[in-house]
Structure 1
């Protein structure tokens, strides 16, 4: 590449077992490299190996300290905010005024090579700022500072989608599911934040269609309380009378009233959107809604009734 002053050259790789630690590059400027020069470069590579291993060991020890600290935060093993702040300063990390915990769930266990790719993406990201991260088999867990970030929920949602698309586009890694916690300032709530992020992943697994595009725990809405509601329904052995009547009618007449009702509620009672999703005419949908109201004895203008039906449909589907 003479136009940029880069002439003939040789690269000697520096290895530890099967891992490349680095390279020595030598340019041919005033003379052509001879056999004795190549031997000298090989000796230099062998000598440099120990130096690179020392650098790598120091880096690994630093990473280990970060990892240990982060797991202590995620499992509430530090007794006070003062102790946590002291540890932040020891590791030369500025404690955030606000933070979230974000988790990415991979479909397969994260490999060493994928970990390098993840580290590169995190380092090159402008916002948000990642203070700590760890990889636990199938999961990437991030501790994110929200200092000086406007509209943090939007920025976090954007990053969730960007990370997933970049991992697929650049590295061919697909089927990553993402979620992040509420926003906190109390460091004693880091474990709570971690559990919230895991809750988002759990709900996405149970209801992949309904909350596919929801990444924030705050945005889960009623799904935050799903486990509590499910436990109560099981304990009380409750059965929604209206849904029971609609199911019986569907079985008897081979109709789709329950599916129609669910889609109507999914679309926030918007007739046009629901008809489009069901691939039927609005007149057909209006007729079905009339039958639903009659058979199930439902007032589809009553918000309380519609909310109860929506919840029971989701609980019924999961059960």
Structure 2
């Protein structure tokens, strides 16, 4: 029997993806409409690219990939496009070139088929096969998918991903599953860094259940909770309590493997996604800076929100603050601590007593160092704009090792 015929004679998704992968000699993945892993196959174990590997390990496409595809308009395109789409590589997120096909049944998306092209591209015959097989796959997914449309977690997922047309439809869906969106709420996201710590999500799930918090767990490495609040008891207070409970529940090793972020507090059901995206931004920032802090809120981010953008812009434009470069060079030549002193001084709003205390030096010693810095660089500590620029650069130098090395290259 021809292998193409075997593909169409497959009676379940797992059989089909195996036959299709064998036919195309490509790493192939099928996800449901929520981007959760359904089936995968490959000619050999080395054929999957890094993103596919993460998807297989966590049983779900990484959230940052989904959000980027939405930003690029690819998810919207898949809603109306029935033919296979070749997606070019997105290098800054490690997304390699691949083919994607939306799998529809009764004109409704049931899932997605992803094929990593690697070196050899698919030809017109392969594209024709994918176009022909997509509706059949959509039908199989419809028949096999166990997620019930009226399930609370599914509705919450749709709220998080803005899949409803308007607020009326949102309220209709939540009422149908007997889920009441709080009058005031914030979204809390807990993300683990390694799949070996998946048990952490089960522990947090139990806390959410005990606290009567609506949540979405899915099959990935995150659990998302909608934390309720009232006028007299804001959601932010409950977030703190939940975070404390999570911290007490986890071992020290588990605490180092998890990031917790929360968005701002809102009152409209349509703002759930906004709070969710803010919580994701908190986690993305903490991961980028590799901080040890277990949890943080969107409002606490402050300038940290823009560090990644500044880092990329300055690297690409080869920009360095020349005054900081001079100080770093002086430290390297004399084994001094002028840069550390400047960082602490500005961080403490140029307060001599507080800075000297943190550096464990006498105030006179601090004043001498500041005089050295001023003579070397002519920094005007009374200029708020100059202080802000220095502070922003020093934050990046403190938290991003690669940025520190970028500066060092200027004088080595």
- What TM-score do the two structures reach when normalised by structure 1? 0.69
Question: Aligned residue for 1:79?
Answer: 165
Compute the displacement of 1:87 (Å).
Answer: 0.9
1:151–1:75 Cα change, 3 Å = closer
Q: Indicate the residue corresponding to 1:266 in structure 2.
A: 347
Within 1, Cα distance between the matches of 2:200 and 2:159? Answer: 25
CA distance in 2, matches of 1:163, 1:155: 12
Query: Structure 1 residues 100, 111: CA separation in 2 closer, same or farther (over 3 Å shift)?
Result: same
State the distance in 2 between where 1:250 and 1:113 align.
Answer: 47
Q: How does 1:40-55 map to 2 (within 5 A)?
A: none
Of the two, which has the highest radius of gyration?
A: 1
Q: CA RMSD for the aligned pairs?
A: 2.9
* Alignment match, 2:394: 313
Match of 1:133 in 2: 216
Q: Give the 3 Å change call, closer, same or farther, for CA 153–279 of structure 1 in structure 2.
A: same
Name the counterpart of 1:51: none
| Unmatched runs of 5 consecutive residues or more in structure 2 | 1-145, 404-412
In the TM superposition, residue 86 of structure 1 has moved relative to its aligned partner by 0.8
1:36 paired residue number: none
Unpaired runs of 5+ residues, structure 1, are 1-59
Identify the residue that residue 276 of structure 2 maps to in structure 1: 194
For residues 173 and 148 of structure 1, what CA distance do their matches in structure 2 show?
34
Question: For the residues of structure 2 that align with 1:183 and 1:270, how far apart are their CA atoms?
Answer: 34
Report what 1:164 is aligned to.
247
Aligned match of 2:88? none
Question: Displacement of 1:234 after TM fit?
Answer: 3.8
Find the counterpart in structure 2 of residue 144 from structure 1.
Answer: 227
1:173 is paired with a residue of what secondary structure?
Answer: helix
Q: Is the 8 Å Cα contact of residues 135 and 141 (structure 1) preserved in structure 2?
A: no
For 1:298 and 1:178, the matched residues in 2 are separated by 38
Change (3 A) 1:290 1:111: closer
> Is structure 2 residue 182 aligned with structure 1 residue 99?
no
- Count of aligned residue pairs for this structure pair: 254
TM-score norm. by structure 2 comes to: 0.55
Q: 1:203-218 residue pairs with structure 2 within 5 A?
A: 203-208=285-290, 212=293, 215-218=296-299
- Tell me what 1:242 maps to: 323
Deviation at 1:235, TM superposition (A): 4.7
Q: 1:110 to 1:71 in 2, by over 3 A?
A: farther
SS state at 1:215 partner: strand
